[in-house]
Structure 1
């Protein structure tokens, strides 16, 4: 491990950590991820009732947990957390509605498309082709650019969706986010100033910050205790393939094959980001194993009746801030997700935390991801061509984020899917420019 990274990490990926501590730190990752947001968006698009929405949430948590454990323990064998992708939401809703909706064959058709695409991902990894594609198309300058764009693309979401445009009084939202962010900065500052308590205040900085923000929101009457009280303690996921069935439609399958390609580009950026934070060079074998794990995770998600899961870049920021990269912590995070899939009371508590509280932490996390990408680029001797390979994807990331909604909706459907993922556009642009731009020898 690089000496600088070794100093920055309090606990490395393979370092020993007590089970109780790993369990608490795993919850920290869960709380920072906003995993419940994509299923709630999809439920709104499909006008789902309470039972269907609850079932979709449970399935999503369960898929995230199983996917996290598969990738961290068996396939990638890196600190990695899986969660639902935002990219396929509009396509998923379109397929369901076009196939008869919830009362018709809609969900069965969606599940069929998800399953076929996931199986192809598994076959791609087993064939050994994936690492050859990565080695050819993604050198260090492209990888660093992708990481930078990952962090950059998340900043507007952290500020707009979680703070400025979130429910409630905007001034209160800013106060909650500011107090939460300040609490985390104080924890990090204490850990730097007083090394003896570094482990407590740095590794627990996000949990402490979220606790401070939650307590303040409760004092403002912004924490919905009633939703926690009303939630049952235990319930089994009800809206799986056994409830909806499975059906195959070639148009829907083709749509999701394209979407899986975009999602894979996204998750590759996440792997680069985590590799940069932990200074780990991903091996050829890991690339292939990772895509197998991605495929199996998405296959399980599809059979559970929810949308594809992908590696979450948020966790790279959490590792960068807390200095904890233990795989055991990520396995614990997977365990928490599985628990949330069955224990509705705990799930209700986490989802009741106001968005601005999450946003205060999320904003700082996204910046650390972006800076890790810039650090990768900083260590490269760049040419004139590299300036454009780095610069244009950054410009396009911002352009897509700021693109008016009516322009996106006027684009062809396949283009809309691509515009739904600034990371995928940035990655594809960096890769194409790297192949086409002339180099000085």
Structure 2
């Protein structure tokens, strides 16, 4: 059986309830997790597919996730007998979520609906309310899903794992569905499956090559020593360009690095590439030598190497990584107390600065004068390389893509290295919070 559902729906807990043991952990992953066990005299394979945010359109879904959906049936050959679509009863099922479910399930093909049972989790929340009354009260969105699945559904109370009856009843419903399918398991289109497998093989080869290049660079180093996605399109594009230019002028003593922040939760396609090129264009081609990509929300990767994610996303993201000289870093935003990941980022920035012969990034005189006329910001040229690093961010609090810049502070400031802290926020410009110093 294959578990489908968004992050936090209770998929992993459901897998544990089915197998009667703690087989699935809470750690997130962009790849499927497969576990096996004996249940009621049957040997069962359970595939826990990666979760997504409940309202995510497939437009923003990473290619790695899409491919995992396509590959998930192949983890239980000759094919799964049932797909369990896991939905929480304590969270409203909206039309936005219904569309997201429909779009993602479409990657498995139209026939998959004949093999799906909706499994409602957190059943204890219902108390004395029947599941039928709940479905009716939720409205058309949830009713559409139930109808699409042939009116097949079941309720789990994941807190009551010792209740064998709920598992027995689920198995009975699965058997009825399998009988209705004439005993046939789900079979994926072999051509599409082979295409994904071939792509995944090439992706892994590319990912291994990238890891080798990064390792080689690390060994050499040790031995020798935001704007939102909406800003990429339409009228807001010009505002984004101006904000980026203004950010650079606010680096009073020059810019050492631009930090381009992407989220691993969202795809980076040709559309984003085109918008990003337009935003970076006023900074000139030289800016890419000073740019490093930081992948945020790294905890969503789980055990998936960032190189596999990059390689699977396609030409647009690989173009960006190549454009930045293959300089990238991953941050686990949930583990913000881990100073080592910030230290590693600063080391990569310092390595990039060294490769640029410690030259600061500067705008040409014509662009400087134009920006100064528009925003009326006093501009100082770069002066010293002996000042500590500062980092400020150009983004919106809800940004999916943002940029940052690293600069030096004047010699009047303290000598230690740290990030700039400021409460200033204007026209999409904000500063990162203070982070402790590191030796």
Common fold: TM-score over 0.5: no
Q: Which has the larger radius of gyration?
A: 2
Structure 1 or 2: more strand by fraction: 2
TM-score by length of 1: 0.22
